[in-house]
C-alpha cells in the first residue's frame, strides 16, 4: 500500500485545490501515471502515483483545498477486478421477487452508477470534464466534433438549449428564489482558485508595501527606425525569431538595475536582500488571468535569446503548460499594457519584488524639439511602481531616466549589452 501525498510544489506555494481526479476508486494505476490534477495560484500540477496498483481510496474531493504533504489517496498492491456486467442482473433479480415494490429504485440506482462509471471511461480533456460537471452534462451523450477525445467545445455544443433540458431548469428553486428582482438578472459564478489567489496576492502587496508610482515618457523614434532596418536580417540570422520591443526594454531594465541595485531587491524581515542576478518576469495575459513567467539570466542573453524565451513562455502560458520552474525566482517584472491599448497605468508590484516597470501604447504626439520646432513623434509613457520602503524617489526617477535614455539611444543599449 502506498499513500499519495501532495508533493512539494514551490517555495512560496503551500497548498492547492483538487481540480480533477483523473482516476477513480478501483482503477488500475501504473507507476508514474497521473492520477489527479492540482490547481495552484501559479500553474496546474498533475500528481503521479509512485507505485503500480489499484486506487483503493480517495481522501479529498474535487474542489477541496489540500496542503503540501497531506495524504489525498491510497494505492494498494494488486490488479483491478474486471467489471462483471453479466453478474449484476442476476443479483438484482432475486430481491425483485421478494419485494415487488423495489425494482424501480434498484433500476434507478443502477442507471446512476452506470452513468458515473461510463463518464470515467470516456476520453475527455480535464477542462471538458470540469465543464460537463458544471453544466450537468452526461459525457456519454456528448458527440465529438473532431477525433475521439471530448473537448470543451463539444460540451458547449451539447449544452445548447434542448426541449428535454427545460425540466432541469425548473428543478432549481433555490437559484430562482435568490434572484430578488427578475427584471435585473444576474449570474453568480464561483471565482476560480487562481483568481482568488490573484486577488489575495494583490491585496497583500497593497497592504504590506508603501507602493508609489512615478512616470516618464520615451521617444520611440530611434528604436523603431533601428528595428525597421534590422528586423528582416535579424529574423534571417536567428532562425525566424522576430525582433520586438520587449528585448530592448528587458536589456534596458537590466542596465538600470545594475545602476540602481536597490530596485533589484526585496525586504526579508529586517534584512534588505540585494539580488545579484537578473531574472526578469514578463507579464502574460491568459484566459484564467495574468501570469508572470520568468526569463532567466537576462544579463547573459542576447536580444534573440530573450525574444525567443518570451515567445516560448507566452505560448506555454496560453496552452496551460507552464511549469513551476518557469514561474519562480524573478527579481523584477515588466508588464506591457500597451498591447491592450493602455495609455497610462499604475502597475502593482509582483509578490515580494521591489518594483515593476509598466509599458504603454505608442501614440504619435506633437513634441517640442526645441523652442522653435515641433514634430510629431511616436511616444510611450512608462511607469515604475516601487516599494518606497526600499527605493527613494530619486532612485525611482533615475531608474526610469536610464530606461528612457537607453531606449532613445539604442546604440548605447547595444554597447551596454
* Residue positions annotated with a catalytic role: 388, 392
CB 23 within 8 A of CB 36: yes
CB 256 within 8 A of CB 403: yes
Q: Give which of 301, 358, 308, 354 is closest to 331, Cα–Cα.
A: 354
Cα 189 from Cα 178, distance rounded (Å)? 13
Cα 39 from Cα 291, distance rounded (Å)? 14
Instruction: Determine the angle formed by the axes of helices 393-408 and 221-237, rounding to 10 degrees.
Output: 60
- Residues 6+ positions from 306 with CB-CB distance below 8 Å: 246, 247, 250, 251, 295, 298
List the strands of the sheet with 2-5, edge to edge. 2-5, 71-76, 53-58, 28-29
For the chain, the residue count is 417
Which of the 8 DSSP states describes residue 227?
H
CB 32 within 8 A of CB 48: yes
Q: Give which of 209, 199, 200 is closest to 386, Cα–Cα.
A: 209
Question: What is the DSSP track for 315-372?
Answer: HHHHTT---HHHHS--SEEEEEGGGGT-S---PPP-TT-SEEEEEEEEEEEEEESSSS
Q: Give which of 416, 409, 399, 410 is closest to 334, Cα–Cα.
A: 399
Query: CA-based Rg of the chain, rounded to a whole angstrom?
Result: 28
Q: Give which of 260, 332, 335, 249 is closest to 297, Cα–Cα.
A: 332
Q: What stretches of 179-262 show up as alpha helix (H) in DSSP?
A: 193-208, 221-237, 246-259
Q: Give which of 337, 351, 349 is closest to 381, Cα–Cα.
A: 337
Amino acid at each position: 500500500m502506498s499513500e499519495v501525498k501532495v508533493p512539494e510544489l514551490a517555495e512560496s506555494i503551500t497548498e492547492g485545490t483538487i481540480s480533477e481526479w483523473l482516476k477513480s476508486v478501483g482503477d488500475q494505476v501504473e507507476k508514474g501515471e497521473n492520477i489527479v490534477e492540482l490547481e495552484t495560484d501559479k500553474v496546474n500540477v498533475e500528481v503521479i502515483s509512485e507505485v503500480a496498483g489499484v486506487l483503493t481510496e480517495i481522501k479529498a474531493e474535487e474542489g477541496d483545498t489540500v496542503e503540501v504533504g497531506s495524504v489525498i489517496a491510497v494505492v494498494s498492491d494488486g490488479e483491478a477486478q474486471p467489471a462483471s456486467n453479466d453478474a449484476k442482473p442476476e443479483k438484482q433479480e432475486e430481491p425483485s421477487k421478494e419485494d415487488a415494490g423495489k425494482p424501480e429504485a434498484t433500476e434507478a440506482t443502477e442507471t446512476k452508477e452506470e452513468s458515473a462509471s461510463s463518464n470515467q471511461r470516456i476520453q475527455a480533456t480535464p477542462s471538458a470534464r470540469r465543464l460537463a460537471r458544471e453544466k450537468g452534462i452526461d459525457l456519454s451523450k456528448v458527440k465529438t466534433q473532431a477525433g475521439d477525445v471530448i473537448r470543451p467545445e463539444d460540451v458547449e455544443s451539447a449544452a445548447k438549449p434542448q426541449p428535454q433540458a427545460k425540466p432541469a431548469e425548473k428543478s432549481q428553486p433555490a437559484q430562482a428564489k435568490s434572484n430578488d428582482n427578475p427584471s435585473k438578472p444576474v449570474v453568480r459564478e464561483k471565482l476560480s482558485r487562481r483568481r482568488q489567489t490573484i486577488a489575495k496576492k494583490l491585496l497583500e502587496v497593497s497592504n504590506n508595501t508603501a507602493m508609489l508610482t512615478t512616470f516618464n515618457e520615451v521617444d520611440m523614434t530611434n528604436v523603431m527606425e533601428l528595428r525597421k532596418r534590422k528586423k528582416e536580417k535579424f529574423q534571417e540570422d536567428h532562425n525566424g525569431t522576430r525582433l520586438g520591443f520587449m528585448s530592448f526594454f528587458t536589456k534596458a531594465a537590466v542596465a538600470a538595475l545594475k545602476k540602481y541595485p536597490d530596485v533589484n531587491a526585496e525586504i526579508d524581515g529586517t534584512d534588505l536582500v540585494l539580488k545579484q542576478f537578473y531574472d526578469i518576469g514578463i507579464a502574460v495575459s491568459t484566459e484564467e488571468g495574468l501570469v508572470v513567467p520568468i526569463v532567466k539570466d537576462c544579463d547573459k542573453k542576447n536580444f534573440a535569446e530573450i525574444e525567443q524565451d518570451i515567445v516560448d513562455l507566452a505560448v506555454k502560458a496560453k496552452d496551460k503548460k507552464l511549469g513551476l520552474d518557469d514561474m519562480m525566482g524573478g527579481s523584477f517584472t515588466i508588464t506591457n499594457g500597451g498591447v491592450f491599448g493602455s495609455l497610462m497605468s499604475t502597475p502593482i508590484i509582483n509578490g515580494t519584488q521591489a518594483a515593476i516597470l509598466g509599458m504603454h501604447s505608442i501614440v504619435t504626439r506633437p513634441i517640442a524639439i526645441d523652442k522653435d520646432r515641433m514634430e510629431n513623434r511616436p511616444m510611450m509613457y512608462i511607469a515604475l511602481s516601487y516599494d518606497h520602503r526600499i527605493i527613494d524617489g530619486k532612485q525611482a526617477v533615475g531608474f526610469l531616466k536610464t530606461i528612457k535614455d537607453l531606449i532613445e539611444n539604442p546604440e548605447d543599449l547595444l554597447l551596454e549589452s
